[in-house]
């Protein structure tokens, strides 16, 4: 089957490679000229284990082409960004999805399958996408088949999870669901779950909202622990011995294109009935300012204004900085006049080594749980003006003996309660 994929980002590109490796003819489309040219040279533009090797194999088979415009195909997969709008509820910006649909309309033929993998607001398929298809003269479910099949993969393990995770197949009609299931059955070994398009949309959003709400509970517990002078990490550890309790881990905030974005789509769709979701979002978005306030206390009498920030991505061992709380924390600290040395071995443009980052620094601020930060070399901390470390991810295992190590469990021993505005 010939498949055109619109959008070659963190989901669209691995998905395209996977279909190519299973014998489908792929045309990967992206409007970014740099991405297209990089892929034409045979090099992937994303950091993801195994992806370069998979792409090399797909190219060797001769069934993966890269372009900046679509062409006639049997199926079209839309995997473009859906950022937040700058409105009161940060609702879903569908402009990229609508542009992608518009770009494939001239190539649609009877029997074609159109799949939206992009994360979208509830009822987008029925209220926005279906009318666009039908306005072009097609009857959905008869002439053209339309489905929402959201991804649910973990960066760093995408190649495995695209194949083995259960997949929701949300057709606009039952015939659309069955048509999409036939395509995904060629690559997915996990269960193919039939659903309506709206059920699929809301299910995807609630998967990430569940995690966001539970992380908010852990982050609120950190603030409670500081206020009451109690080790919040110890409290989480003990509570999780209960067979029916699984408190999440706190952190400096929530990032990425899923957890930090998707809950807003639900809240915007039904603001009067989503107070819990909105409060959880407010708690998590408050964490960068909270970390900065704690940092300012630790730096109050420091001999230098330099801070070594370890980690810029939103999670460990990837290169993705989208919606990263670390990036926001860096901006806030720089606005306060601090000299920030940014060290992230996964992000281009940061300082070259841990040693360089630590020269004359008065604080290491760990904001991402990269494997490279598990052990902090004593040769690096020896170069610090004041050897202290705040680990917001509870991921550092070893440091030199003279380093004052702080985390969200013991930070109350070194700081005072941070006055924050009510949520």
The strand order across the sheet containing 145-148 reads 64-67, 25-29, 2-6, 75-78, 113-116, 145-148, 167-171, 192-196
Residue 148's H or E segment, with its range, is strand 145-148
Residue 248's H or E segment, with its range, is none
Residue 12's H or E segment, with its range, is helix 12-21
Q: Where are the beta strands (DSSP E) in 262-402?
A: 306-310, 339-343, 364-366, 388-391
Question: CA-to-CA distance for 102 and 105, rounded, in angstroms?
Answer: 5
The torsion angles phi and psi of 365, rounded to 5 degrees, stand at -115, 105
The position carrying tokens 């994929």 is 5
Question: CA-to-CA distance for 141 and 192, rounded, in angstroms?
Answer: 19
- Give the tokens for residue 223: 């603030």
Question: CA-to-CA distance for 226 and 264, rounded, in angstroms?
Answer: 28
Q: 298 near 388, Cβ under 8 Å? A: yes
- Give the tokens for residue 303: 């001999």
The active-site residue out of 179, 204, 223, 315 is 204
Question: CA-to-CA distance for 125 and 201, rounded, in angstroms?
Answer: 8
149 has catalytic annotation: no
Instruction: Determine the distance from the C-alpha atom of residue 256 to the mean position of all C-alpha atoms in its chain, rounded to a whole number.
Output: 3
92 has catalytic annotation: no
Question: CA-to-CA distance for 178 and 164, rounded, in angstroms?
Answer: 20
Q: 116 near 80, Cβ under 8 Å? A: no
- Residue 221 CA: distances (Å) to CA of 230, 255, 389: 10, 19, 21
Which neighbouring-strand residues pair with 130?
none
Residues 6+ apart with CB under 8 A from 102: 132
The position carrying tokens 């070399």 is 377
The active-site residue out of 179, 258, 306, 358 is 258
Q: Which residues are catalytic?
A: 204, 258
């Amino acid at each position: 089957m010939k498949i055109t994929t619109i959008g070659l980002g963190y989901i669209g590109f691995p998905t395209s490679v996977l279909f190519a490796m299973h014998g489908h003819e792929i045309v990967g489309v992206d409007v970014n000229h740099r991405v297209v040219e990089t892929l034409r040279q045979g090099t992937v533009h994303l950091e993801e284990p195994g992806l370069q090797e998979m792409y090399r194999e797909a190219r060797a088979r001769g069934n993966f082409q890269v372009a900046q415009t679509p062409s006639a195909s049997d199926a079209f997969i839309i995997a473009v960004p859906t950022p937040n709008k700058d409105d009161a509820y940060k609702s879903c910006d569908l402009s990229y999805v609508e542009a992608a649909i518009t770009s494939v309309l001239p190539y649609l033929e009877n029997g074609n399958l159109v799949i939206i993998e992009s994360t979208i607001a509830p009822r987008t398929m029925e209220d926005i996408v279906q009318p666009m298809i039908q306005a072009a003269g097609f009857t959905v479910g008869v002439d053209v088949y339309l489905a929402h099949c959201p991804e649910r993969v973990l960066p760093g393990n995408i190649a495995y999870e695209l194949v083995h995770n259960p997949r929701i197949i949300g057709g606009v009609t039952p015939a659309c669901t069955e048509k999409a299931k036939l395509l995904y059955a060629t690559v997915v070994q996990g269960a193919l779950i039939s659903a309506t398009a709206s059920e699929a949309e809301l299910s995807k959003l609630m998967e990430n909202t569940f995690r966001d709400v539970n992380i908010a509970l852990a982050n609120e517990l950190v603030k409670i622990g500081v206020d009451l002078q109690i080790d919040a990490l110890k409290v989480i550890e003990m509570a999780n011995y209960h067979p029916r309790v699984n408190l999440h881990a706190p952190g400096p905030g929530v990032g990425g294109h899923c957890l930090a974005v998707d809950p807003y789509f639900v809240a915007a769709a039904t603001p009067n009935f989503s107070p819990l979701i909105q409060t959880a979002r407010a708690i998590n978005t408050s964490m960068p300012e909270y970390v900065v306030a704690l940092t300012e206390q630790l730096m109050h009498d420091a001999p230098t204004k330099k801070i070594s920030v370890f980690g810029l991505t939103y999670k460990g061992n990837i290169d993705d900085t989208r919606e990263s709380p670390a990036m926001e924390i860096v901006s806030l600290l720089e606005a306060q006049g601090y000299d920030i040395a940014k060290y992230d071995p996964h992000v281009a443009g940061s300082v070259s080594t841990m040693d360089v980052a630590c020269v004359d620094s008065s604080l290491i601020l760990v904001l991402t749980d990269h494997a490279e930060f598990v052990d902090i070399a004593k040769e690096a901390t020896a170069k610090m003006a004041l050897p202290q470390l705040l680990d917001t991810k509870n991921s550092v295992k070893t440091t030199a003996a003279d380093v004052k190590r702080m985390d969200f469990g013991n930070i109350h021993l070194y700081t005072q309660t941070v006055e924050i505005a009510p949520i």
